[in-house]
A and B are shown apart, each in its own frame.
Chain A
């Protein structure tokens, strides 16, 4: 396991370099002079020269990348053009909101997904199974931002149970978590159901029945336990999707967070903020996948061998 951990961690370095290179390119590839994108309107020629020197734009691209990378590793992500604050401050303000939203949504989809999947598998081909699976299919095909808007319409505008937007109270979290969570529930439930049905056919389950173990105990203590491995696999593969969902839903609910900050900055062409947000989101995806891989390897020793 220790060897697996070391190898998996070493793998992060090239991945991180590749991702940071793409994000570094953003300002350079944007049409027009990057300096014009970085400068506030009405800046003098001297400010322009100072800016070129500050960003090292007069040097070769690899050198620029090295400088940018070095600054970034020290936590210096540049200055926001429109919000006129250090990008790192903006990110520090917004990141906790996204983390709370993302982890609650992940917990919700895992728990509810496993529960509904287990329920559907236990009543396989019955009306409950069909109803649950149809609802799940619907929930996973609807555009999440529309689902969010419908929730606002119903629960916030019509019924007035929850605030329409913002993040001032805990109750403002309910609708966003539900909206992101529903897509994940569909995925987790489908995998749980399929895995449980497959495992229920195995010989050891037949033997448990023969031994007279109560069916409920077989389902929960044996079948579900074995079915959790593919569920963890799919969750670890899709951990980034929760983040993607959070980006969209934060904007729908006008919640502070990395996603809202990113979309607003993209619309305002505030490129240093865009870079900072994308970098943080990319790091979150990479770390999420890492955690997923480690959990999987901890559960299944065979997987530790795959990283040669």
Chain B
């Protein structure tokens, strides 16, 4: 286990960490149990009830097609979390492989990786994602690929810095002089020690990825209808801004709560693990 359970215990004893963990658990559970919790079918249209105020019948109101907003937000959590977690996981694995190889072997490969990472570092993630969407075409799969490539530089950079710092430690030099091969040194000694900051950075990046997914969805470039996504819901709400502002307010609130909970949890995790300094090295 890369995150020791003692650190998790420390995290849950702080009010900030505990609060964030509870909110996150509720959101994840709601996403998993969406079919059980959602009072209505997320795609069921009822034009007679279009743009209804929040009330007893529809807790968060309805959209312009009379679809229940609460049900759509719960199903939207599935899309957001799935996209966020999947794309950041892909990004983390690829970034760790690239960063570890570059940091450990150095040489021309390292120079090329560093150059590409530095170049993409100066571009905002949204612009990188838009370039990739332009190549791949809109949709859920391309959104995931675009997000994972947009965050690749961050994880590559962080892993590389960790591996470079660990490489000169005495115990690694001792292992190498005892005749250990590159594979052994990398997988037994360097990566296990480098992985914790990368996982925490990945946790924090998941929040950003959820915002990026919502932004692309808002542009109409993410998940295509009828798949509910928070960004796309708000985009259709802009046309009803004068008569049904809740279509914009509630999905945005869902994003904000999720992202703030992820950030607070990640921040508390950094303190519990005491790795703020190591994260800065990247």
Check if A157 sits within 8 Å of B241, measured CB to CB. yes
Interface locus among B39-47, B50-58, B82-90, B133-141: B133-141
Check if B219 sits within 8 Å of A146, measured CB to CB. no
Contact A244:B135 (CB < 8 A) given known A142-B256, A146-B256, A157-B245:
no
Minimal beta-carbon separation of B142 from chain A (angstroms): 10
Find B255's partner among A26, A146, A237, A247 (CB 8 Å cutoff): A146
Contact A267:B219 (CB < 8 A) given known A240-B127, A247-B127:
yes
Residue on A nearest B221 in the bound complex, by CB: A266
Q: How many residues of B contact A (CB 8 A)?
A: 38
Minimal beta-carbon separation of B131 from chain A (angstroms): 6
Contact A30:B124 (CB < 8 A) given known A143-B214, A143-B259, A146-B256:
no
Say yes or no: is A228 at the interface (Cβ < 8 Å to chain B): no
Cα-based distance from A278 to B134 in the complex (angstroms):
9
Minimal beta-carbon separation of B79 from chain A (angstroms): 15
Minimal beta-carbon separation of B185 from chain A (angstroms): 30
Q: How large is the interface on A (under 10, 10 to 19, 20 to 34, 35 or more residues)?
A: 35 or more
Say yes or no: is B282 at the interface (Cβ < 8 Å to chain A): no
Residues 209-241 of chain B: 1 if any A CB is under 8 Å from the residue's CB, otherwise 0?
A: 001001100111100000000010010001001
Check if A143 sits within 8 Å of B124, measured CB to CB. no
Check if B133 sits within 8 Å of A266, measured CB to CB. yes
Q: Would you list which residues of chain B between 169 and 222 have a CB under 8 Å from chain A?
A: 207, 211, 214-215, 218-221
Check if B119 sits within 8 Å of A15, measured CB to CB. yes
Minimal beta-carbon separation of A270 from chain B (angstroms): 11
Say yes or no: is B30 at the interface (Cβ < 8 Å to chain A): no
Interfacial chain A residues near B126, Cβ < 8 Å: 244, 247-248
Residue on B nearest A288 in the bound complex, by CB: B122
Check if B122 sits within 8 Å of A143, measured CB to CB. no
Cα-based distance from A237 to B123 in the complex (angstroms):
9
Say yes or no: is A29 at the interface (Cβ < 8 Å to chain B): yes
How would you classify the secondary structure of chain A's contact residues: helix, strand, loop or mixed?
helix
Cα-based distance from A142 to B138 in the complex (angstroms):
24
Interfacial chain B residues near A15, Cβ < 8 Å: 119
Check if A244 sits within 8 Å of B219, measured CB to CB. no
Say yes or no: is A22 at the interface (Cβ < 8 Å to chain B): yes
Check if B122 sits within 8 Å of A23, measured CB to CB. no
Check if A281 sits within 8 Å of B127, measured CB to CB. yes
Say yes or no: is A103 at the interface (Cβ < 8 Å to chain B): no
Check if B127 sits within 8 Å of A150, measured CB to CB. no
Minimal beta-carbon separation of A25 from chain B (angstroms): 7
Minimal beta-carbon separation of A219 from chain B (angstroms): 26
Find A251's partner among B214, B219, B252, B260 (CB 8 Å cutoff): B219
Q: Would you list which residues of chain B between 122 and 155 have a CB under 8 Å from chain A?
A: 122-127, 130-131, 133-138
Find B124's partner among A18, A25, A241, A286 (CB 8 Å cutoff): A241
Say yes or no: is B248 at the interface (Cβ < 8 Å to chain A): yes
Cα-based distance from A239 to B226 in the complex (angstroms):
37
Check if B122 sits within 8 Å of A141, measured CB to CB. no
Interfacial chain B residues near A247, Cβ < 8 Å: 126-127, 130
Check if A285 sits within 8 Å of B123, measured CB to CB. yes
Find B127's partner among A18, A30, A31, A282 (CB 8 Å cutoff): A282
Check if A266 sits within 8 Å of B134, measured CB to CB. yes
Offer 30 A-B interface pairs, CB within 8 angstroms, sorted by A: A18-B119, A26-B135, A29-B135, A30-B135, A30-B137, A31-B137, A143-B252, A144-B215, A145-B215, A145-B231, A150-B248, A150-B252, A152-B241, A153-B248, A240-B127, A243-B124, A243-B127, A244-B125, A244-B126, A244-B127, A247-B126, A262-B130, A263-B220, A266-B138, A266-B221, A267-B221, A278-B127, A278-B130, A278-B134, A282-B123
Given A141-B256, A142-B252, A266-B219, 19 more contacts at CB 8 Å? A22-B131, A29-B136, A138-B260, A141-B207, A142-B259, A146-B255, A150-B252, A157-B245, A240-B122, A241-B124, A243-B127, A244-B126, A245-B124, A248-B126, A266-B133, A274-B134, A278-B130, A282-B123, A285-B127
Binding site for A on B (CB under 8 A): 119, 121-127, 130-131, 133-138, 207, 211, 214-215, 218-221, 231, 234, 238, 241-242, 245, 248-249, 252, 255-256, 259-260, 263
> 9 shortest A-B CB distances, which residue pairs?
A244-B124, A146-B252, A244-B126, A143-B211, A289-B122, A29-B135, A241-B124, A240-B124, A263-B219
Binding site for B on A (CB under 8 A): 15, 18-19, 22-23, 25-26, 29-31, 137-138, 141-146, 149-150, 152-153, 157, 164, 237, 240-241, 243-245, 247-248, 251-252, 262-263, 266-267, 271, 274-275, 278, 281-282, 285-286, 289
